[in-house]
Amino acid sequence: MTAEPFPPGWRIVPASVAGPDHLATGAENQDALAYRRLGDGFVLAVADGAGSSSRASTGSRLAVESACDVAADLFTVAPAGSEVWMATAARYVASLLRLFDQRIDGLAGGFAVRADYATTITCVVAHPPDYLFASLGDGFGVIVRDRGGAHLVMRPDDAGPDDGAAVFLTSAARREAVQVCLVHDPAVGGVALCTDGLIEALLAADLAPGGGRRLLAPAEFERYFTAFGADRHDAGILSDQLQSEEFAATSRDDKTMLLAVRT
Amino acid sequence: MNSPLPGVQAAKTRLLITLVVDTSSSMAHQDAIGDLNRALRQWREELQADSNLRRIGELALVTFGAGGVTVVDPSGHGREPLASPFVPVNEFNPPPLRASGYSPMVAAVQRALQVVEQRREALRQSGIQMAYRPIVYLLTDGAPTDEAGKRSDRWRDLEPLLRKEEDDHRLLFYAFGVRGADMNVLRELAPKGAFDVQGDNFTTVLAAVRRSIQRIMTVGRSTDPGTVHDQVRSDIDEMQQMREWLSIQKAP
């Protein structure tokens, strides 16, 4: 985690806890998070190492570090206009994948097996009022608007629990599976990134018009932003909550939430 | 102090668990039915202590014995008609079961598959998906008969249906044979999910069922059923070994 100060007017609130299964066995948290200031903007990243992969925690750490390092190269200054944003976004994704590969390949004396480091990645590069989300896997991103409520803008790669094979940063089909979304909104008052261990606890669902479920950010989600923004609560209460029995009952998975809140 | 942060959202997924229980006359022998009733009460408490299962689990109970196949109200309220055969885990409170009659096992498993399918469809229409494959557990001490008590080979028609449901990742099926069960039939119905527990009491059998539920809640729906069955068998074997070791330690 990078401890650089954030741009004035923003507060960072990180929390990442091991899930009940990992706690019971003494295994480490396979989620990771990182964040960094980019001049007047910032980058946030969360990742969820695949439980079935032997070096997943290393994979998730390298993923979030790569997301921040590439953002620091490409987004120190805000791109001018949506077309430049999207062109830079394409370079960002390509560079992130390349750097992640290079870092994996540099491990184990050059004999690392990439699949052992399988991980998701969800990140946001922010130069307010622009917010570029990129995600591979089932992490998700929420924004809150002043007097406009919380909105799920980066959806988990969610076929629901009836899922097929997940796509990770180490998967062959990763490039096509990356989701990218650019939000231009002067009214954004905060951004949250979460790993999939929090889907069940934090997101609501309704019936999609074509059948199946549609995930959404419930109205209560806004309270995460008010608690750490206007109300200035201690950041520690977020970790306490993610470790609570109530949250443990929603998922055996590790849980990570990274908030950037206007103060 | 009240937290300024919101609580968790309502459950968006479900795990459907169906018990198909033999209540034929043979279950009266040596009060096996009494043992089962006591074990079910203890099992209920153990399930309800599991906060994750309490949140997403639903249970149904199908019996076969006197009167043929019965979908029992698992809440113990004796609701008729039974609007939904499934109740949430925290409402599971089965009535005492009585033993008599024959063993229409195949019809009971077919009925269980129907109630699972009905519940799956109702949940789907509500936008609620299954976090895990529904699980059907058959507990029997005998061999399948028809409703008139004649030995039946209809299980041969059931077997391919169960395999297809499993291969399509729509179901997991387990069969536990107690006290004289025809294990040959059970192994045909559940080639990798049949357990010979003839020497065990029902508390031990239901502990194994519970252990399998815990295992299934750790694997995704994309995991092939053979792998899931192998993991479940490994867990149950480990339980058995631990129990044997403890009994040796207790021996004078």
- CATH code where residue A83 lies: 3.60.40.10
Does the structure show a pLDDT above 60 at B45? yes
Domain annotation covers residue A5 = no
Helix axes B105-125, B155-167, angle to 10 degrees: 30
Does the structure show a pLDDT above 90 at A54? no
Mean of the per-residue pLDDT values for chain A?
A: 91
The three state secondary structure string of chain A is CCCCCCCCCEEEEEEEECCHHHHHHCCCCCEEEEEEEECCEEEEEEEEECCCCCCHHHHHHHHHHHHHHHHHHHCCCCCCCHHHHHHHHHHHHHHHHHHHHHHHHCCHHHCCCHHHHCECEEEEEEECCEEEEEEECCCEEEEEECCCEEEEEECCCCCCCCCCCCCCCCCCCHHHHCEEEEEECCCEEEEEEECHHHHHHHCEEEECCCCCEEEECCHHHHHHHHHHCCCCCCCHHHHHHHCCHHHHCCCCCCEEEEEEEEC
d(CA A257, CA A69): 20
Residues A38, A26: contact at Cβ < 8 Å?
A: no
Mean of the per-residue pLDDT values for chain B?
A: 92
Go through A25-62 and write b for each residue having 16 or more CB atoms within 10 A of its CB, e for each that does not: eeeebbbbbbbbbbeebbbbbbbbbbbebebbbbbbbb
> Among the ranges A151-160, A188-197, B79-88, which has the highest mean pLDDT value?
A188-197
Domain annotation covers residue B5 = no
CA distance B114 to chain A (A): 20
For position A110, what pLDDT does the model report?
A: 79
Residues A255, A249: contact at Cβ < 8 Å?
A: no
For position A160, what pLDDT does the model report?
A: 44
Closest partner residue to B9 (CB to CB) among A20, A163, A202 is A202
Residues B52, A249: contact at Cβ < 8 Å?
A: yes
For position A1, what pLDDT does the model report?
A: 46
Closest partner residue to A205 (CB to CB) among B12, B124, B221 is B12
For position A206, what pLDDT does the model report?
A: 85
Does the structure show a pLDDT above 90 at A158? no
Q: How many CA atoms, within 13 angstroms, populate the side-chain half-sphere of residue A13? A: 27
CA distance A255 to chain B (A): 13
pLDDT tens digits for range A237-249: 999 999 999 999 9
- B249 interfaces chain A, CB cutoff of 8 Å: no
CA distance A249 to chain B (A): 4
Does the structure show a pLDDT above 50 at A180? yes
For position B251, what pLDDT does the model report?
A: 67
Rounded average pLDDT over A142-146: 96
Domain annotation covers residue A1 = no
Domain range enclosing A174: 10-262
For position A109, what pLDDT does the model report?
A: 80
Closest partner residue to A163 (CB to CB) among B54, B124, B220 is B220
Task: Tell me which of A241 and A161 has the higher pLDDT.
Answer: A241
Domain annotation covers residue A30 = yes
For position A4, what pLDDT does the model report?
A: 52
Rounded average pLDDT over A131-154: 96
Considering only CB atoms, which residues of chain A are within 8 Å of chain B?
A: 20-21, 160-165, 199-208, 211-215, 218, 220-221, 223-224, 226-227, 231, 233, 237-238, 241, 245-252
pLDDT tens digits for range B94-129: 999 999 999 999 999 999 999 999 999 999 888 888
Number of domains composing chain A: 1
Number of residues that this document lists for chain A? 263
Domain annotation covers residue B1 = no
Domain annotation covers residue B4 = no
d(CA B217, CA A251): 10
Domain annotation covers residue A2 = no
d(CA B63, CA B166): 22
Here the CATH number for the domain that contains residue B61 is 3.40.50.410
Domain annotation covers residue A4 = no
Q: Which residue of A has its CA nearest to B126?
A: A207
Q: What share of chain B is helix, strand, coil (3-state, %, to 5)?
A: 45, 20, 35
Closest partner residue to A224 (CB to CB) among B5, B125, B221 is B5
The band of A5, judged by pLDDT with boundaries at 50, 70 and 90, is low
The band of B234, judged by pLDDT with boundaries at 50, 70 and 90, is very high
pLDDT tens digits for range A190-240: 999 999 999 999 999 888 877 777 899 999 999 999 999 988 899 999 999
Cis peptide before B95 (omega within 30 of 0): no
Local structure of B62: helix, strand or coil = strand
Name the residue among B69, B57, B94 with its Cα closest to residue B214: B57
Domain annotation covers residue A37 = yes
d(CA A84, CA A128): 15
Domain range enclosing B177: 13-250
CA distance A13 to chain B (A): 13
Number of domains composing chain B: 1
Name the residue among A143, A257, A152, A142 with its Cα closest to residue A198: A257
Domain annotation covers residue A117 = yes
Closest partner residue to B8 (CB to CB) among A162, A201, A213 is A201
In this complex, do A212 and B129 lie within 8 Å of one another by their Cβ atoms? yes
Domain annotation covers residue B205 = yes
In this complex, do B51 and A214 lie within 8 Å of one another by their Cβ atoms? no
> What DSSP state is assigned to residue B177?
E
In this complex, do B9 and A218 lie within 8 Å of one another by their Cβ atoms? yes
Does the structure show a pLDDT above 70 at A162? no
In this complex, do B12 and A212 lie within 8 Å of one another by their Cβ atoms? no
pLDDT tens digits for range B174-228: 999 998 899 999 999 999 999 998 877 999 999 999 999 999 988 877 789 999 9
Does the structure show a pLDDT above 70 at A22? yes
ipTM over 0.95: no
Q: Is the pTM of this model over 0.95?
A: no
Domain annotation covers residue A176 = yes
Does the structure show a pLDDT above 70 at A163? no
The band of B149, judged by pLDDT with boundaries at 50, 70 and 90, is confident
Does the structure show a pLDDT above 70 at B252? no
With a pLDDT cut of 90, the percent of chain A lying above it is: 75
pLDDT tens digits for range B50-80: 988 999 999 999 999 988 999 999 999 887 7
